[in-house]
Amino acid sequence: MAITKQRIKVAELSDLPVKMGKTVVIGENELALFRLSDGSVKAIENRCPHKAGVLAEGMVSGDHVFCPMHDWKISLKDGLVQEPDVGCVKTFEVEVEGELVYVLVGEEEAERGVTNGVC
């Protein structure tokens, strides 16, 4: 069975300074948006799996964000925490159309938030 995705406008490119995070909320999901040096935009779950640090407040280097609480390094591409730490955060598909930034989420996620504990 195919999962239906909902396309939700979350920002304009001008709202996203390069290498800075922005918090957006979709339903009960709190996401962190990042515009990388190459111009791409990434969206991940906004809480570090370690101690729930707000990732939108973290420092971006390359395609990783560092949690502002304990410096855990998390990939913005796949959500994996980098060694020696372990864990992951959920990633979300992003589309940029002109100046508009959209996040694609399943209908259930859009309404109730992420319910599974698996990244």
The whole-model pTM stands at 0.87
91-100 confidence digits (pLDDT tens): 999 999 999 9
With a cut of 70, say whether residue 71 has pLDDT above it. Answer: yes
Contact, 64 vs 76, CB < 8 A? yes
Domains of the chain and any CATH numbers: 5-106 (2.102.10.10)
Q: Where are the alpha helices (DSSP H) in the chain?
A: 107-112
Q: Give the C-alpha separation, 10 to 28, whole Å.
A: 14
Looking at residue 110, what is its pLDDT?
55
